[in-house]
């Protein structure tokens, strides 16, 4: 019997997950989609032949025929919806972050634990084959003891200022993926973060109270030094790379390209630009994470990305922001 799922949120990431569930994940039925903008829900439902479109997410939570929900709505709705869904006995997938406030995160996680339902957080990059290979090399000792890990994550263009004003800023809407990736790849946790950041891309981002360029240096429990470099604007496309260096060697990943062709002339040797944004770069990872969520429910397995995994990167983001504001290294125990 197919797992019956409802999607809450028909924006950019909601569309990605809905299309993935309908076209790439076997053993599921996407029953309903909700969005406060009813036209968005209706358009998505019509395009993907989803039976129900509604402006009220509670219609999905109240529907006893629906087994699980995917929360893809605005960040400030995540923790309240998690609580309501848990109380209704739904299995839950939620996009990151759970919330921007640790007390509200803890309230949501408590509700999940009390209801004994599953909660998987949407850190899709864990399901990317390149990052999985780097993790394997580190965890198996293939490159010896890990000394340094460097993560590069640069977007092709900044999001709208209206989004930046409510997103929690670069450390909680962008760097949060890289904080999770640092934990995933090292198999360890950060002890201390030092941030250097500024406004290099658009003064309007600074006027909104955020930065658009950031570099973070972190000490981890296992002794590794981890660096993350973020930019809101890489003119050449979506820049997603990582290098791990250890006592026995190194492993690195390159960007993904639309083709493997190289053009050689008398003046230049060149290739096409990298894939332009996350929908293209991480298509397979979105499929893999949804397959993992469905598998955890249908086969009663632990989810691969837990609520705790969702909480820690928020702590790291808050520490990174505090470090930037105060101009000093910040230990994570100052936050959590």
- For the chain, give percent helix, strand, coil, nearest 5: 40, 25, 35
Q: How far apart are CA 107 and CA 90, in angstroms?
A: 17
Please, which pLDDT band fits residue 255 given cuts at 50, 70 and 90? confident
As a whole-number percent, the residues of the chain with pLDDT over 90 amount to 89
Give the confidence band of 279 by pLDDT, cuts at 50, 70, 90: low
One-character DSSP codes across 95-155: ESPS-SSHHHHHHHHHHHHHHT--EEEE-GGGG-HHHHHHHHHHHTTTT-SEEEEEEEEE-
Alpha helix ranges (H) inside 49-128? 58-62, 75-87, 102-115
- Whole-number Å distance between alpha carbons of 212 and 203: 9
Dihedral angle at the C-alpha atoms of 120, 194, 227, 207, nearest 10 degrees?
80
Query: Are the CB atoms for 98 and 105 separated by under 8 Å?
Result: yes
Please compute the mean of the pLDDT values over residues 188-210 and round it to a whole number.
97
- Give yes or no for residue 258 having a pLDDT over 90: no
N residues, the chain? 336
pLDDT at 70: 98
Could you give the CA distance from residue 107 to residue 86 in angstroms, rounded to a whole number?
11
CB-based contact 152:193 (threshold 8 Å): no
The reply to whether omega before 97 is within 30° of 0 (cis) is yes
Please name which of 239, 283, 258, 303 lies closest in space to residue 16, comparing C-alpha atoms.
Answer: 283
pLDDT at 277: 65
* pLDDT above 90 (res 248): yes
Helix (H) or strand (E) holding 241: strand 239-246
Name the 3-class secondary structure at 207. Answer: helix
What tokens does 231 get?
A: 């930019």
Mean pLDDT of 88-106: 97
Mean pLDDT of 136-159: 97
pLDDT on residue 278: 64
Mean pLDDT calculated for residue range 221-247: 96
Reported as a pLDDT band with limits 50, 70 and 90, residue 61 is very high
CA 14 to chain centre: 13
Could you tell me if 93 and 20 are in contact, meaning their C-beta atoms sit under 8 angstroms apart?
no
Kindly state the average pLDDT of the residues 148-152: 98
Domains annotated for the chain, with CATH where assigned, are: 3-117 (3.40.50.720), 128-278+313-334 (3.30.360.10)
Phi then psi for residue 98, to 5 deg, are: -60, -40
**Spatial distance between the Cα atoms of 289 and 132, rounded to a whole number of angstroms:** 13
Smallest CA-to-CA distance from 312 within 150, 106, 170, 86 is with 106
What distance in Å separates the CA atoms of residue 332 and residue 329, rounded to the nearest whole number? Answer: 10
Q: pLDDT tens digits for 295-317?
A: 999 999 999 999 999 999 999 99
Q: pLDDT tens across 123-135, in order?
A: 999 999 999 999 9
Give the closest residue to 174 by CA, choosing from 118, 215, 231. 231
What's the pLDDT score for residue 126? Answer: 96
């Amino acid at each position: 019997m197919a797992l019956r799922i409802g999607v809450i949120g028909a924006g950019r990431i909601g569309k990605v997950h809905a299309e993935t569930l309908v076209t790439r994940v076997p053993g599921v039925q996407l029953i309903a989609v909700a969005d406060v903008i009813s036209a968005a829900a209706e358009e998505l439902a019509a395009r993907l032949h989803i039976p129900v479109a509604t402006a009220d997410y509670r219609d999905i939570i109240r529907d006893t025929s629906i087994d699980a929900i995917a929360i893809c709505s605005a960040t400030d709705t995540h923790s309240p919806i998690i609580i309501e869904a848990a109380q209704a006995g739904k299995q839950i997938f939620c996009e990151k972050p759970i919330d921007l406030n640790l007390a509200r995160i803890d309230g949501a996680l408590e509700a999940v634990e009390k209801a004994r339902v599953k909660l998987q957080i949407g850190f899709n990059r864990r399901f990317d084959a390149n990052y999985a290979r780097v993790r394997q090399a580190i965890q198996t000792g293939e490159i010896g003891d890990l000394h340094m890990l460097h993560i590069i994550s640069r977007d092709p263009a900044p999001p709208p200022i209206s989004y930046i004003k409510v997103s929690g800023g670069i450390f909680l809407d962008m760097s949060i993926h890289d904080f999770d990736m640092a934990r995933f790849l090292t198999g360890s946790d950060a002890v201390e973060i030092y941030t250097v950041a500024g406004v290099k891309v658009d003064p309007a981002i600074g006027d909104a109270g955020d930065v658009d360029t950031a570099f973070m240096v972190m000490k981890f429990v296992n002794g590794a030094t981890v660096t993350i470099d973020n930019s809101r604007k890489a003119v050449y496309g979506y820049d997603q790379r990582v290098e791990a260096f250890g006592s026995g060697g190194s492993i690195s990943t390159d960007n993904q390209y639309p083709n493997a062709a190289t053009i050689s002339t008398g003046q230049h040797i060149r290739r096409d630009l990298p894939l332009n944004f996350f929908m293209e770069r991480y298509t397979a990872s979105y499929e893999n994470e949804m397959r993992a969520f469905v598998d955890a429910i249908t086969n009663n397995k632990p989810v691969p990305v837990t609520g705790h995994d969702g909480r820690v990167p928020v702590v790291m983001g808050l520490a990174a922001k505090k470090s930037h504001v105060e101009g000093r290294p910040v230990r994570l125990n100052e936050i959590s």
